[in-house]
Chain A
Amino acid sequence: MAQPRSLFEKIWDRHSITTNEAGQSLLFIDRHFCHELSFHAFNMLHDNNRTVRHPERTFAIPDHYTPTTGLDDSDYVDTDTKALVQNLISNAELNKLNLFGLGDERRGIIHVVGPEQGITQPGTIIVCGDSHTSTHGALGALAFGIGASDVSHVLATQTLWQPKPKSMRVTVTGKRPTGVTAKDVILTIIGHIGAAGGTGHVIEYVGPAIQELSVDQRLTVCNMSIEAGARAGMIAPDDTTYNYLRGRPFAPQGDNWERAEEYWRSLPTDEDATFDREETLDAASIEPMVTWGTSPEDVLPIGGAIPDPAQETDPKRQDALNRKMDYMGLIPGQPILDIKVDRVFIGSCTNSRIEDLRDAASILNGRTARIPAIIVPGSGLIRAQAEQEGLDKIFESAGVEWRPAAGCSMCIGVNGDFVKNEERCASTSNRNFEGRQGRGARTHLVSPAMAAAAAVTGHFTDVRKMEKN
């Protein structure tokens, strides 16, 4: 009998063209996404007089620098960002790539659009010059972020050399309590294994609490794999996956679908396959989570209190804690529930899908935001869907700003949407690094419902104690 293999190993083996003397595999890349910051890679390609080997396998979608208030010239924060967006469009046209350009309703955040369009499929290898490419693993793909030189390599050869990563299986048993979301699950996992816990590994998430997640929720989990240090996170394809994909524009149709599904059904990890590392968590013990520091591993349940550096015996850890406390403007021992929030951001490749918006709306409905809050849809199609469901009306009557144009927005703060110095933001994004949302910005990562609750009360609030409307 053939050796039992994991989902990851099956995809790896199928895409390995050859191996070199150092044991690295030359992997074939099925799909490549590029955005405005891929300009370095296009320059490298053109400077070396090289061409794109498979233009049909690359999708260009501007998302980082596009404004969210609209797409007129006056919406751009400056002419440089507009030029960068135009540069991507020119490169896409010059190289005959698939392009979801500015007027295209399908345009949005790459990691939202890929799955939404059915470009992301089980068993594929997907790369992009963006670390949150791990998102696509939610559909059973092997997907990881790469730097500009590697992007250029993929454009020229449709391949990448990679040493085989180690494998980790994270099992989430039990059932999520009401009010606990996929975001809380992944924040808990990161808190548990640490920001470097997954370094050098590909994570497969398994267990009943993972299986019962919708695709939108699975995308949130896999999205933040990189915040645990793992380059890729994956969830085995199942009926939830196939029901999601069927009929999407870039998914196979007719006979092709039948053959594809037959292959996809062979992908899940074999029963006796082994992993380099195993971790297990019980979903029933997970609570709504809030990050308090400057690494995603600095995370606590909503009922928790800020750690006290004075109680830390290791001087290096004490220094680090003091630094975080200082940057975040927090008081040792302060209950998270007492932390006042200045601003709310709901959006990003982590939490800007229709289910995220519905979650936020269920809290905002019939209530009023006390602090400035913006909601940015993940794609033009999600915007249309949300408006069809009347979510925009709920947001507007709550006094929350509903932005018409999709994009990365305040997660990375390079399009003009940023958090001011020393301002405290409850954010549904993925990174609470120093300066991530703007210089001096104080980011707390939370779920969409928790962000909405903070908008309503002006401080962190246990969403389990608020009635959903």
Chain B
Amino acid sequence: MEPFTCFTAVAVPMDQDNIDTDQILPARHLMMPRDERYGGYVFKDLRLDRDGNEIDTFILNQEGFRPSRIIVAAHNFGCGSSREGAVFTLVDAGFRAIIATSFGDIFYNNSFNNGLLPVALPEEIVQLLRQQLHQGDGAEVTVDLEAQTVTGPDRSVYPFEIDAHRRNRLLKGLDAVGYTLQYEDDITRFERRYSEDAPWELSAVQQ
């Protein structure tokens, strides 16, 4: 996983609330193996019509926003299904950070497992950022995970909160399983005690 420290890029405003994972990656593309490039499928049905032609009104099809690698969304980005493909497709399309007022919980979790940083900021800031981005093509936003700040197109700096464990994993690009296996003794001890405390719990499973 690619570590995330500080990232500056053109940002695209997406005003819609509740952009669900079906919008980010339609279900018919979930079967692809991970080593295939997912990037071409990002926001597929919002971006392309049935004949594969670009839909002009979709913001990522507008010239100034094509190089975007940060999204500034609205409420509840990534709600819906647990498909990690929604994160694969954003990452493969070059996105490294999503700023929104809130995220679907599962999408939020999945992001950290793929080097994508979801940043939650208060509504008035997110709205202001989107407004500023709408004004000028090619405006850049900086997301600094070390400093825990977002810098807007007007150079205003906004601090954000993030769980220290997730922050640390992303900064170092750590493998989650490798980290947990450091706790293997604790797990084994727990399992022994658990099966003594609750012998019924697996009684009908071990056949």
Q: Which of B50, B84, B177 meets A156, CB within 8 Å?
A: B177
Name, among B45, B168, B198, the residue most crowded by chain A CB atoms within 10 Å (CB to CB).
B198
Q: In the complex the two chains form, is B205's CB within 8 Å of A159's CB?
A: no
Mark out the residues of chain B between 157 and 179 whose CB falls within 8 Å of any chain A CB in the assembled complex: 163-166, 168, 175-177
Residue of B nearest to A36 (CB): B31
Name, among B181, B186, B205, the residue most crowded by chain A CB atoms within 10 Å (CB to CB).
B205
Asked if B180 is at the interface (CB within 8 A of a chain A CB), the reply is: yes
Tell me whether A146 and B106 are in contact in the complex, defined as CB-CB below 8 angstroms, given that A257-B200, A320-B16 are known contacts.
Answer: yes
B92 to chain A, nearest CB (A): 14
Q: In the complex the two chains form, is A431's CB within 8 Å of B187's CB?
A: no
Mark out the residues of chain B between 29 and 87 whose CB falls within 8 Å of any chain A CB in the assembled complex: 30-31, 33-34, 45, 50, 74-76, 79-84, 87
Q: In the complex the two chains form, is A30's CB within 8 Å of B201's CB?
A: yes
A178 to chain B, nearest CB (A): 33
Name, among B45, B107, B109, B165, the residue most crowded by chain A CB atoms within 10 Å (CB to CB).
B109
Asked if A2 is at the interface (CB within 8 A of a chain B CB), the reply is: no
A-chain residues with CB within 8 Å of residue B26 when the two chains form the complex = 435, 439
B148 to chain A, nearest CB (A): 14
Q: In the complex the two chains form, is A56's CB within 8 Å of B180's CB?
A: no
B-chain residues with CB within 8 Å of residue A150 when the two chains form the complex = 109-110, 113, 176
Q: In the complex the two chains form, is A24's CB within 8 Å of B163's CB?
A: yes
Bound: A264/B198 CA distance, A: 11
Q: Which of B23, B102, B198, B203 meets A253, CB within 8 Å?
A: B203
Q: Which of B34, B110, B168, B180 meets A26, CB within 8 Å?
A: B180
Tally A residues with Cβ within 8 Å of B: 81
Asked if B15 is at the interface (CB within 8 A of a chain A CB), the reply is: yes
Residue of B nearest to A257 (CB): B200
Tell me whether A149 and B45 are in contact in the complex, defined as CB-CB below 8 angstroms, given that A22-B164, A26-B183 are known contacts.
Answer: no
Q: In the complex the two chains form, is B104's CB within 8 Å of A199's CB?
A: yes
Q: A123-131, A344-352, A445-453, A459-467: which one contacts chain B?
A: A123-131
Bound: A147/B190 CA distance, A: 25
Q: Which of B83, B187, B199 meets A256, CB within 8 Å?
A: B199
Chain A window 66-82, contacts with chain B (Cβ cutoff 8 Å), 1 for yes, 0 for no: 00000000000000110
Question: Interface residues of B: mostly helix, strand, loop or mixed?
Answer: loop
Residue of B nearest to A230 (CB): B105
Q: Which of B80, B202, B203 meets A131, CB within 8 Å?
A: B80
Tell me whether A147 and B106 are in contact in the complex, defined as CB-CB below 8 angstroms, given that A43-B34, A129-B82 are known contacts.
Answer: yes
A-chain residues with CB within 8 Å of residue B31 when the two chains form the complex = 37, 65, 80-81, 84, 414
A-chain residues with CB within 8 Å of residue B187 when the two chains form the complex = 17, 26, 28, 157-159
Q: In the complex the two chains form, is A147's CB within 8 Å of B113's CB?
A: yes
Residue of A nearest to B29 (CB): A414
B17 to chain A, nearest CB (A): 7
Tell me whether A131 and B82 are in contact in the complex, defined as CB-CB below 8 angstroms, given that A22-B163, A157-B181 are known contacts.
Answer: yes
Assign chain B's interface to a size class.
35 or more
Chain A window 247-291, contacts with chain B (Cβ cutoff 8 Å), 1 for yes, 0 for no: 001111100110110010000000000000000000000000000
Q: In the complex the two chains form, is A17's CB within 8 Å of B201's CB?
A: no
B-chain residues with CB within 8 Å of residue A257 when the two chains form the complex = 200
B-chain residues with CB within 8 Å of residue A320 when the two chains form the complex = 16-17
Asked if B20 is at the interface (CB within 8 A of a chain A CB), the reply is: yes
Asked if B137 is at the interface (CB within 8 A of a chain A CB), the reply is: no
Tell me whether A259 and B194 are in contact in the complex, defined as CB-CB below 8 angstroms, given that A149-B114, A196-B102 are known contacts.
Answer: no
Q: In the complex the two chains form, is A149's CB within 8 Å of B84's CB?
A: yes
Q: In the complex the two chains form, is B34's CB within 8 Å of A439's CB?
A: no
Tell me whether A130 and B45 are in contact in the complex, defined as CB-CB below 8 angstroms, given that A436-B22, A439-B26 are known contacts.
Answer: no
Q: In the complex the two chains form, is B201's CB within 8 Å of A124's CB?
A: yes
Q: Which of B28, B74, B168, B201 meets A414, CB within 8 Å?
A: B28
Bound: A226/B80 CA distance, A: 7
Asked if B128 is at the interface (CB within 8 A of a chain A CB), the reply is: no
Bound: A31/B206 CA distance, A: 13
Bound: A129/B143 CA distance, A: 30
A-chain residues with CB within 8 Å of residue B203 when the two chains form the complex = 252-253, 256
Q: In the complex the two chains form, is B106's CB within 8 Å of A231's CB?
A: yes
Asked if A20 is at the interface (CB within 8 A of a chain B CB), the reply is: yes
Asked if B191 is at the interface (CB within 8 A of a chain A CB), the reply is: yes
Q: In the complex the two chains form, is A118's CB within 8 Å of B194's CB?
A: no
Q: Which of A250, A316, A421 meets B205, CB within 8 Å?
A: A250
Mark out the residues of chain A between 111 and 138 whose CB falls within 8 Å of any chain B CB in the assembled complex: 118-119, 121, 124, 129-131, 133
Q: In the complex the two chains form, is A263's CB within 8 Å of B198's CB?
A: yes
A99 to chain B, nearest CB (A): 12
A166 to chain B, nearest CB (A): 11
Asked if B18 is at the interface (CB within 8 A of a chain A CB), the reply is: yes
Interchain residue pairs with CB less than 8 A apart (13): A30-B201, A43-B34, A145-B81, A147-B87, A149-B84, A157-B180, A161-B180, A195-B79, A196-B102, A199-B102, A252-B200, A433-B80, A439-B45
Given contacts A156-B180, A256-B200, 14 further A-B contacts (CB under 8 A): A20-B165, A56-B206, A98-B205, A121-B201, A149-B84, A150-B176, A153-B176, A153-B180, A158-B187, A159-B180, A229-B104, A253-B204, A433-B23, A435-B23
A-B pairs, top 4 by smallest CB distance, nearest first, are A22-B165, A149-B113, A147-B110, A256-B200
Interface set of B (CB-CB < 8 Å, partner A):
15-18, 20, 22-23, 26-28, 30-31, 33-34, 45, 50, 74-76, 79-84, 87, 102-107, 109-110, 113-114, 163-166, 168, 175-177, 180-181, 183, 186-187, 190-191, 194, 198-206
